[in-house]
Homo-oligomer: A and B are copies of this chain.
Amino acid sequence: MTDIIHRVGIKAPLSKVYAALSTIEGVAGWWTAATTGVSEPGETIDFEFMTPGGERIGAMAMRVVAMDPDKQVHWRCTAGPDEWIGTDVVFRLVHEDDYTIVRFGHRNWREAVEFTEHCSMKWAIFLLSLKQLVETGEGRPSPNDIKIDNWN
C-alpha cells in the first residue's frame, strides 16, 4: 500500500478550516467548483473536474466515512479513476502556533504508479488553494487550478 501525505499550516481558527473541508460550499471553494451531494457521514459527495475550456477531465465520488468537528474529515472513494477506488482521503486538524495544521493523507493506493506521482503534486496544489481560500477568501478550485503537467 502507498500513501500520499502532506502537511500545510493555515493562519485561521480550526472551525474555519473545518468548514472548508466539511461543507459542499467549502470544498467547492478550493478543490473543484463542481462539487455536489451531501456532506454527512454515510452520504456521498460527487466531484467533477473540467478544463478551463469546459472539457470534462474526470469525475469521482467519495462516501463520507467520518466527520469530527474541528478534528477530521474522512472520505472513501467509491467511483472515479480505477487507482482511486477504495482509497481513503483523510484531513486531520490540530492547532499549533497560530496555525491550523492540516495533516493530509490520500491513503491505501494499491501501488505507487506514475499517476500517484501526478496526484501527489496535484494534492499539494489543492492544499495551497485551501490555504489561500481560508486565509484570503478566494481559492483556486478546478477549473482555475494551477496546471502542473501534460495531464492536468
Report Cα–Cα, A114/B121, bound state, in Å: 18
**Bound form: Cα–Cα A117–B120 in Å:** 11
- 8 Å CB contact of A5 from B9, B117, B131: B117
Count of interface residues, chain A, beta-carbon cutoff 8 Å: 32
Does A56 touch B at the CB level, under 8 Å? no
The residue on B at minimum CB distance from A121 is B6
Where chain A touches its partner, the secondary structure class is mixed
Check B3 against A112 for contact (C-beta < 8 Å).
yes
- Select one of B96, B101, B104, B117 contacting A103, CB under 8 A: B117
Mask of A1-45 contacts with B, CB within 8 angstroms, 1/0: 011111111000000000000000000000000000000000000
Say how far A128's CB is from chain B's closest CB, in angstroms. 7
On chain B, the residues within 8 Å of A112 by CB distance are: 3, 5
